[in-house]
């Protein structure tokens, strides 16, 4: 199976000069823990809820003065749509991340892959295989 089979399509992008409070609200409202940061149609970083806390609030910085550029993490990690899902999951495990932006062959971000997406896909796939087995057995 490929990454494109499990990823969720699309993602909310933010510019590097976006205020952290705006990003934090979007994370809360959309129930997401990381957002891609883009500039000139290119992925330039990610901001996670942990980045906001550890690189901003914990240092006593004024949230109203902070932008995505102030807290975004690097290097940029990503996977490709045509990559094997198992390889992407292994990469996430090695790098200790729970989400990856997904880029296509044109180097455009087309979605996000999370550990939850992988688990949901595995569950759906296993359920489908079980249904086929049960149906074939009773036919």
Tell me what the mean pLDDT of segment 110-138 comes to.
67
CATH class of 3-138: alpha beta
The pLDDT, as a whole number, for residue 125 is: 60
Any idea what DSSP says for residue 19? B
Strongest mean pLDDT among 61-65, 79-83, 124-128: 79-83
The answer to whether 117 touches 8, Cβ cutoff 8 Å, is yes
pLDDT digits (tens, 9 = 90+) for 64-106: 899 999 999 777 899 999 999 999 999 999 998 888 999 888 8
Sequence-distant (6+) residues with CB within 8 A of 65 are: none
The pLDDT, as a whole number, for residue 84 is: 93
Task: Delimit the domains of the chain by residue range.
Answer: 3-138
């Amino acid at each position: 199976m490929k990454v494109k089979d499990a990823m969720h399509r699309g993602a909310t992008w933010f510019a590097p000069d976006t205020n952290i409070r705006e990003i934090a609200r979007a994370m809360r409202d959309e129930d997401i823990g990381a957002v891609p940061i883009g500039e000139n149609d290119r992925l330039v970083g990610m901001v996670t809820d942990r980045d906001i806390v550890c690189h901003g609030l914990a240092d006593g910085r004024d949230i109203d003065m902070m932008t995505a550029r102030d807290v975004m993490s690097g290097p940029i990690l990503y996977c490709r749509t045509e990559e094997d899902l198992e390889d992407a999951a292994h990469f996430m495990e090695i790098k200790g991340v729970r989400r990856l932006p997904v880029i296509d062959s044109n180097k455009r971000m087309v979605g996000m892959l999370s550990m939850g997406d992988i688990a949901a896909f595995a569950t759906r796939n296993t359920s489908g295989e079980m249904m086929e087995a049960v149906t074939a057995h009773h036919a």
